[in-house]
Structure 1
Amino acid sequence: METVTFQIWRGGPARRGGLAGGGKLVDYSIPVSEGMVVLDAVHKIQAEQANDLAVRWNCKAGKCGSCSAEINGIPRLMCMTRLKDLPLDKPVIIQPMKAFPLIRDLVTDVSWNFRVKKTIKPFRPRAADAADGTWRIAQSDIDRVQEFRKCIECFLCQDVCHVLREHHLQDEFAGPRLLVYTAALEMHPLDVEDRLQDLKRAQGIGLCNITKCCTTVCPEEIRITDNAIIPMKERVADRYYDPLKRLFRALRGRKKN
């Protein structure tokens, strides 16, 4: 068996007031075997060397989104990152997601995402168009939003987004995960709710500069930028920045007055 060194972040958040606190990377060396993923290594370290290591996980199948972390500086799911795909001749660095407040060790507080999600206007269907009280929907319209349903809310896209990670604009920008959620509602063939003003103001979609880093880290391979964020940007631009439409609305407003 090959012995590999893992550097795992240990400790809690830095204390307020400039007092000593925070944490540090701690070295752990363990033998690894074929087929192991990073989460296997973390569990082995937790069982044999660091019983108090805090780590969040659940399904170990890449479907719950719980074990998100930064592995060698890249936001990834620990359960889906195989050791054979990493350079094992040097320490494997495992750190918590940096875009969210640290609780302890590898566990971060992602509750902000759920609070913002509650502020997004919910699904509001149009009236039924069939005598039996149901709807008729084209399959192409269903296929368009089905991709967004694959999201497991691992929040890796939120973690890698520079608006949240580097500029800390959580009060002004909802982030790619919640823009995908909004897109799933806006593009639903039955939905009649209007969320464009919220996209422009509360969710701050204009702050996204479409670097596609969120798409790169998505474990479900959702085309976040191309299929969700850009179409929403276009809708907002059409309403608020198209000069002809602005003129038309101005003239219509005068006529009503």
Structure 2
Amino acid sequence: MLAKRIIPCLDVADGRVKKGVNFVNLTDVGDPVAIAAAYQQQGADELVFLDIFATNEHRQTMADIVEQVSAQVFMPLTIGGGISSVTDMQRLLKAGADKISINSAAVANPALITAGAEKFGNQCIVVAIDTAWDAQAQQYRVYTHGGQQATDLDAIAWAKAVVARGAGELLVTSMDRDGTKAGFDTDLYQALGAAVNVPIIASGGAGNLADFETVFQQSPVDGALAASVFHYGELTISEVKHALAAKGVVVR
């Protein structure tokens, strides 16, 4: 059995780490380089760095901050936000990224997934899916542009499509749970796990140790991503790993 991964996420805007609830009401958390270094010391398995306004502001992800962060950490670094071409991917990989995360650009141009996978390998291309439950349509709807624009895409069908195009990993955020600390949406991840055979990272809703235990015990996800509980010192990564190990979950 592959060890489960605990992954902190840095949502960055204006060169600072931010955190909100349900993708809004952002507050300043601190310096991304210092926070990344702290997570390195705590034993994070990977780090996800998202330039949250790059797409809406029609600009490229901040490669200079990526370089600074990659100089401080030695764990795999996934970078997303404002990436719309293979050239953008290459620039960030040269800056220190190990994996590239695309979301809005993948929806707008699905061929980009294949182009990136062919040039850099499937393992390098992470498709991020931001989704919220649509009660009327009875489906998980895909959103783009930092959760601001709804699409007609069903998240489960979209997950299948992006994997078929070459995505080597999925980073799936429940917008309903984001920042709420109400627990991960295990129903979502069970449905995704039944639909695709690539690693899935669960995001949105981590609030306590039991939430991490539940998502790993009740769904087939490979990693759990969190921000608020780590940023505000409510939990440390080592605490989470010790608690998971005590419940029989294999961690690194």
TM-score, L = length of structure 2: 0.26
Structure ranking higher in strand proportion: 2
Structure of higher CA gyration radius = 1
TM-score, L = length of structure 1: 0.26
Q: Which has the higher contact order (CA 8 A, sep 6+)?
A: 2
